[in-house]
A and B are shown apart, each in its own frame.
Chain A
Amino acid sequence: MKSISKIGMAMTFLLSYTVCSAQIKNAQVESVKILGNCEMCKKTIEKAGNVLNVAEVNWDKNTKIAILTYDSNKTNRDEILKRVALNGYDSDTYLAPSDVYAKLSDCCQYERKAVVTAKTNTTKQVGDAKIDLKIEIVEHKQEVVAEKKQDVDLWTVLFDHYFALKDALVKTDGNTASSKANMFLTAIGEVKMEKLSSTQHNVWMKIQKDLAFDAEHIADTKEASHQRDHFITLSKNMYDLIKVSKQETLTYYQFCPMANKGKGAHWLSKDNMIKNPYFGSKMLGCGKTIELIN
């Protein structure tokens, strides 16, 4: 009996849709799952899918089911879902581009299922033009970070957050910088002191408090200029830290003479090309690499 009423409900649901979208000719109706969270998602999904008199999407945020109504002579399911995915929402046919997903607002950051982060390591041997491309398949970002924590250098996570913070400052993006600084703070707390060597331990004890102090201040504001003031000392301390740690890849110690009101300031980067975190796009290219750290 219950199932009959359910079917009945579904029927009325479907029928009401044919009525609503009477202007769509040769109408075909399909239901399909589209991932998403909230009312805002609903707006984006429907706006992306709708085409006047050709296609209409109605998405339910609780069931994640979208009812597609479309003119089967003019379009198809795939075209609609592709438009939706290009605006950030995964379905069973298309995965949204990761950069578009990342730009969705916080409440719309739904949990992705099948998404995979790809990491390709390339080793090149230029001399006799041999190439050896290794591929590392990473299923879930979080898991990998967790794994890495255990067997790679103890401070890797800390450095990862530092570089993310620096990138945010390059873009003069105070919001991201603040959230990265928060993650940086958490990472400070998670450093396993018992595994540090004695020299490492000494350095760590000396700078740990200063790191936390600067990171807190960066996290507390969304004002990039204030964040940059603290980034100066933070970078200096991170430099001390990197000198006693083991890094898998090359790090560049860079310097801009114009930062810090003409007194100059340093930062660490994974890239030889200068992207100045103290000025952002105003003077992105200002500075030079002064030391290579292995």
Chain B
Amino acid sequence: MKYRVLVILILFSIHPVLAQKIVRYDLYVKDTLVNFAGKEKRAIAVNGQIPMPTLTFTEGDVAEIYVHNQLKEETSLHWHGLLLPNKEDGVPNLTQMPIKPGTTHKYSFPIIQNGTHWYHSHSGLQEQIGMYGNFVMLKRPNDPTFRKGIDDLPTVPIVLSEWTDLKPENIHRMLHNANDYPALKKNTVQSYSEAIQAGHFQTKLKNEWKRMSALDVSDVYYEKILMNGKPSTDLKSIDGKELKAGDQLRLRISNGGASSYFWLTYAGGKITVVANDGNDVVPVEVDRLIIAVSETYDVIVSIPSENTAFEFLATTEDRTNLASYYIGNGIKQLKSRQPRLKYFEGMKMMNDMMKMNGDLDDMGMSMSLNQMDMNVVMYPEITGDSKPKQDDKDPNRYNANALADIVTLNYAMLKSPVNTNLPQQAPVKVLRFNLSGNMNRYVWSMDNQVVSEAKKILIKKGENVRIIIYNGSMMRHPMHLHGHDFRLLNGQGNNAPLKNIVDIMPMETDTLEFNANAEGDWFFHCHILYHMMSGMGRVFSYENQAPNPLIPNPRLAKRMLYADDRKFHLMTENDFANNGNDGMMMIQSTRWSIGTEWRLGYNDMHGYETETHIGRYMGKMQWLMPFIGFDWRFRKMGINEEEKNIFNQTNSKDKRAQFSLGVNYTLPLLMIAQAEVYQGGNVRFQLMREDMPISKRLRMSFMVNTDKEYMAGFRYIVNKNIGMTTHYDSDMGFGVGLSVNY
């Protein structure tokens, strides 16, 4: 009898396991044309839609997702924030081979967690043009952590994204070439004349003295901001039920933007944050929060009155663009727009923080967890419309919550409702990273190494890995770990929140830890798409793990993975002037630069000359570049005419082909000093400054060297590819022209 009872009990307990539900989705990935900003452009749609469809599961389900690649290129899908077997993680050339055109790939994994997540392509720049979608995992109704009043509210998944009419490959190239087209579009050039107008001439001068070019909080210009694929949405009902006064709803928000942080604000009162990165947090009420690239937040908002729709706003961090959701029925209650940033205040702040050697100096403030936001000096809503009044000694001078009436969320306010301690006995491995970067050349790295330059980081299964990250670069970085949730040590003790992305602002240090409990090769990288593609990441690899069956040729896969940040970027420019052609063409990678400059006259007296340099950038700041060069020039001189340099060395100008060795060094005020020794023993020193921003669209350049050559000119930028120029050149005289650049 006893046995029978036991058997029955066992049967019952097995039952839920047997009832594990398989949930299948079929995703058809296809090229499409869209018109978001007035022009038809290529995008990628899945099942005919952008964003990709919301995939919904319940904890305990088994996901079976069939990806049918109908593109003409390879693809992949990464399940962001999910705990799953490594081979299902969807990183091409790391956890699987890319999904070839015309083939189908099946992802299958058990759903062992709940919360708001999202999914996106991890191939190239596909995420920018439509491959992002919501991924929602519901709690079981009998889950002990089920929160009444939160987990049973009507819910709307929202994925945020941006749209640009430029091809993302072109954006990536332009970023590496320091093209100021985005700054022009956003009106953030921060030129000398604008500086003088704002009473900040010294600030600008000091900024260039410290070898910085104007900085913005974001570097890509977007035509449209989208919430679930639309700039503006009326949310009048949920699941067929009309929204009315007193209703509360839960928004599951993922930031699927490729490079934009968003401020979230609401016209109908406070925003209650109830989860972050798919993990519950103790509810906290705020007026606004910033959502980092690839983070997710679950928030509760309510409808405070009848016959009114309240605006829920997502504004880009640079405040140039936004998207809104109108929640409710009736007249639309708008939320005030965030005022334009005070750029020169930001520049001044950066000047104070930047040492002459390019390192950052936090002046004794140890910063972490987004609590001190240096950017508040640029926020008029916090520090007032004009110059900041606060004292330099005020310990709270960067603390947004102390300075203003509104409450801004920061990481220290996140608290897990449960104890998140790691296993106590496990050995601890400590890793330190310094996020490094070079804005002028758009090089982003960790410890000044890009993915292809660094070794995989080996960790042992079972150990607790503690990572201490310092951001020594001038931009913030949302660092994302695949396959694990980590605890962010934020002063909440046992209840440190679980996350899988941590946004680290310049000069901040954050500590996170996780238990190494899932074998495989896991990517840890900055989630700003263009930073990741530039090589800002590492691979964590478990020691002595079984080979991944989806990677039949690990060496080939590794080479393809490294190809991303080894890419060379082309830029070229020619000035068609009445006195000749002036131009250059250059390809550059993280460390190498191969470039040719030319000056082609229209007759023999003016001459034709080219200079080719192959150089390697040295050091973190890349101010130093030794190179080997080759010069060729032809110029008819008058009879008995001879050219001498200031060292009385004779130049063979009318037919010359010479090899050289030289070095470039970037001086304060962004002047490039060049020293070059030619095979015949001639030496040449040269000083040059290019593209000095005089006004929003006007640039000045000059060059002078010991061959008694000099040049000075202006360029007026018409659009991203065309400029009008005027210059005076010692060889060719005065000229005006039209410059075309790519």
Contact = CB atoms under 8 A, between A and B. Distances in A.
A97 B334 contact: yes
Given A129-B147, A129-B282, A137-B246, A92 B331 contact: yes
Contacts of A273: 401-402
B491 to A, nearest CB: 16
A129 B417 contact: yes
Interface in A55-112: 82, 85-86, 92-97, 99-100
Interface stretch (A16-24, A178-186, A187-195, A282-290): A282-290
B248, B269, B332, B389 — most chain A CB neighbours (10 Å): B332
Instruction: Select the residue from A129, A275, A281 with max chain B CB neighbours within 10 A.
Output: A129
| Most chain A beta carbons < 10 A, residue from B147, B390, B403 | B390
Contacts of A130: 147-149
Residues of B contacting A: mostly: loop
A272 B145 CA distance: 31
Nearest to B280: A129
**Range of interface residues on B (Cβ < 8 Å):** 35 or more
Interface string B243-267: 0011010000000000000000001
A133 B394 contact: no
A274 interface: yes
A126 interface: yes
B305 A99 contact: no
A95 B305 contact: no
Contacts of A281: 383-384, 388-390, 403
Given A100-B336, A118-B269, A129-B280, A284 B304 contact: no
Interface string B316-352: 0000000000000001111111000000000000000
A99 B336 contact: yes
A118 B306 CA distance: 11
Contacts of B402: 273-275, 284-285
Contacts of A282: 389-391, 394
Interface in A265-294: 273-275, 280-286
A110 B388 CA distance: 32
Contacts of A275: 402
A280 B145 CA distance: 44
A3 interface: no
B405 interface: yes
B268 A118 contact: yes
A284 B403 contact: yes
Interface string B392-404: 0011100101110
Name, among A96, A116, A167, the residue most crowded by chain B CB atoms within 10 Å (CB to CB).
Answer: A116
Contact of B300 (A118, A133, A139): A133
A93 to B, nearest CB: 6
Contact of B272 (A114, A129, A133, A284): A133
Given A95-B331, A100-B336, A282-B391, A133 B302 contact: yes
B307 interface: yes
A118 B302 CA distance: 10
Given A120-B302, A130-B147, A284-B403, A135 B332 contact: no
Contact of A95 (B148, B333, B399, B417): B333
B373 interface: no
Contacts of B269: 118-120
Contacts, number: 110
Interface string B135-161: 000000000010111100000000000
A142 interface: no
A94 B334 contact: yes
A150 interface: no
A115 to B, nearest CB: 8
A126 B417 contact: yes
A281 B336 CA distance: 23
B150 A285 contact: no
B272 A122 contact: yes
Given A97-B336, A281-B403, A120 B304 contact: yes
Contacts of B440: none
A124 B334 contact: no
Contacts of B304: 116, 118-120, 135, 137
Nearest to B148: A130
B506 interface: no
B283 interface: yes
A97 B267 contact: yes
B331 A93 contact: yes
A132 interface: yes
A259 to B, nearest CB: 14
A131 interface: yes
A133 B336 CA distance: 25
Contacts of B389: 280-282
Given A118-B305, A284-B394, A93 B332 contact: yes
In the complex, which of the residues B148, B337, B383, B396 has the most CB atoms of chain A within 10 Å of its own CB atom?
B396
A260 B694 CA distance: 49
Contact of A86 (B145, B245, B280, B337): B337
A99 to B, nearest CB: 5
Contacts of A100: 336
B172 interface: no
Interface string B218-246: 00000000000000000000000000011
Contacts of B331: 92-95, 114
B282 A86 contact: no
Given A93-B331, A282-B390, A86 B336 contact: yes
Interface in B288-319: 300, 302, 304-308
Contacts of A92: 331
Contacts of A120: 269-270, 302, 304
B479 to A, nearest CB: 28
Given A86-B336, A273-B401, A284-B396, A135 B302 contact: yes
A233 B332 CA distance: 46
B64 interface: no
B67 to A, nearest CB: 36
Nearest to B303: A135
Specify which of A93, A114, A131, A137 lies most central, judged by the most chain B CB atoms within 10 Å of its CB.
Answer: A131
Contacts of B401: 273
Interface in A6-40: none
Contacts of A114: 307-308, 331
A133 B269 CA distance: 13
B246 to A, nearest CB: 5
A118 B267 CA distance: 10
Given A96-B334, A97-B334, 6 more contacts: A85-B334, A93-B331, A126-B417, A135-B302, A281-B384, A285-B402
Interface of B: 145, 147-150, 245-246, 248, 267-270, 272, 274, 280, 282-283, 285, 300, 302, 304-308, 331-337, 383-384, 388-391, 394-396, 399, 401-403, 405, 417
Interface of A: 82, 85-86, 92-97, 99-100, 114, 116, 118-120, 122, 124, 126, 129-133, 135, 137, 139, 167, 273-275, 280-286
12 contacts: A114-B307, A124-B283, A126-B282, A129-B145, A137-B306, A167-B405, A280-B389, A281-B389, A282-B394, A284-B396, A285-B394, A285-B395
* 3 residue pairs, one from A and one from B, having the closest CB atoms: A118-B304, A285-B396, A97-B336
